[in-house]
């Protein structure tokens, strides 16, 4: 099975100007992979997502509003989220990459895979953009796995330094998705307290682990090894998805966590081993 890297040139055309979420994020990843000979990755251009997959998560009127704003040249869709003419295209390919990743994993044509796209998605809720995010790609991918592929249990681990409030909201009342977030608190968006464990049928299927400013490899890796992995074993997911934000890194200027490359590698390997032991891609 191939180790797959999914991307699309439209990610670079999502023009945010002088903004912390910018094309240089993707450029730096691909430049490093170029320098290292792609480390065995098979590079695949992501397709655009089908509208039915998008509207399984987001309202049609919300999707139409984004498309219309981009078609008119772009602007601010909310106070901190800016779009340009090709941002909607980029978001469609980002979500399409996530869905393609799921298809390849479940078909057995890919092993571990990485989808490198922007704009990001985990703050976007059913009908609201937020925090630089337009379409919630990981939620769209999880919903596709359930609706189109018949999965009953999907696990999403979100280790972005900011709480993935959009993903949490979308699956808050679902017992089919276990959403686990490790995030700095206090920090934007101010959500994700440990007491929030989901609602209705989804009660017990949301797990929030706020960490204080200054938390680094020891705290993050320990949470994954001693809390997140046992949760996975209890839930027995058929698919594990990671919202892999890297802004808990010690050099990120927008937060105060201290995670290093070694910490991210350790968390990734721990989750990979756990998923493998459970027979989950």
> From CA 240, how far away is CA 258, in angstroms rounded?
25
CB 73 within 8 A of CB 85: yes
CA distance 140 to 170: 10
Q: What is the mean pLDDT of the chain?
A: 97
DSSP conformational letter for 278:
H
The secondary element (H helix, E strand) that includes residue 239 is strand 239-243
Whether the domain at 1-150 and the domain at 151-281 fall into the same CATH topology:
yes
Q: How far is it, in rounded angstroms, from Cα 140 to Cα 178?
A: 15
CATH C-level class of 151-281? alpha beta
**Cβ atoms within 10 Å, residue 210:** 17
The residue-averaged pLDDT of 147-176 equals: 99
Residues forming the active site: 123
Where are the domains positioned within the chain?
1-150, 151-281
CA-CA distance, 15 to 86, in Å (whole number)? Answer: 8
Task: Give the pLDDT confidence of 213-226 residue by residue, as tens digits.
Answer: 999 999 999 999 99
Q: What global pTM score does this model have?
A: 0.97
Mean pLDDT of the 149-171 span: 99
Q: How far apart are CA 249 and CA 228, in angstroms?
A: 20
As assigned by CATH, the class of the 1-150 domain is alpha beta
- pLDDT at position 102 is 98
Is it the case that residue 95 has pLDDT exceeding 90? yes
How do residues 182-239 score in pLDDT, each as one tens digit? 999 999 999 999 999 999 999 999 999 999 999 999 999 999 999 999 999 999 999 9
What's the average model confidence in pLDDT over 88-92?
99
How far apart are the C-alpha atoms of 265 and 263, rounded to whole Å? Answer: 5
- Stretch 117-129: mean pLDDT: 98
The predicted structure's pLDDT at residue 273: 98
Map residue 179 onto helix, strand or coil: strand
Assign 1 a pLDDT band (cuts: 50, 70, 90).
confident
pLDDT (0 to 100) of residue 19: 84
């Amino acid at each position: 099975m191939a180790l797959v890297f999914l991307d699309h040139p439209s990610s670079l055309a999502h023009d945010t100007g002088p903004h912390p979420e910018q094309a240089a994020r993707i450029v730096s990843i691909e430049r490093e992979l170029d320098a290292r000979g792609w480390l065995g990755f098979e590079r695949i251009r992501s397709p655009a997502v089908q509208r039915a997959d998008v509207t399984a998560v987001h309202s049609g009127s919300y999707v139409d509003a984004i498309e219309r704003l981009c078609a008119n040249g772009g602007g601010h869709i909310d106070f901190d989220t800016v779009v340009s003419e090709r941002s909607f295209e980029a978001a469609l390919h980002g979500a399409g990459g996530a869905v393609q990743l799921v298809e390849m994993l479940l078909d057995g044509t890919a092993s571990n895979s990485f989808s490198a796209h922007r704009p990001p998605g985990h703050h976007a809720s059913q009908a609201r953009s937020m925090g630089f995010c337009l379409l919630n790609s990981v939620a769209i991918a999880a919903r596709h796995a359930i609706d189109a592929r018949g999965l009953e249990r999907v696990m999403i681990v979100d280790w972005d330094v900011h709480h993935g409030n959009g993903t949490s909201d979308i699956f808050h009342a679902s017992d089919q998705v276990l959403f686990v977030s490790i995030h700095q608190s206090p920090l934007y968006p101010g959500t994700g307290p440990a007491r929030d464990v989901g609602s209705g049928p989804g009660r017990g299927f949301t797990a929030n682990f706020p960490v204080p400013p200054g938390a680094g490899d020891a705290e993050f890796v320990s949470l994954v090894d001693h809390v997140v992995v046992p949760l996975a074993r209890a839930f027995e997911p058929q698919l594990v998805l990671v919202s892999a934000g890297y802004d808990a890194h010690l050099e990120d200027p927008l937060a105060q966590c201290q995670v290093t490359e070694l910490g991210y590698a350790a968390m990734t390997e721990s989750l990979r081993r756990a998923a493998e032991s459970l027979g989950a891609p």
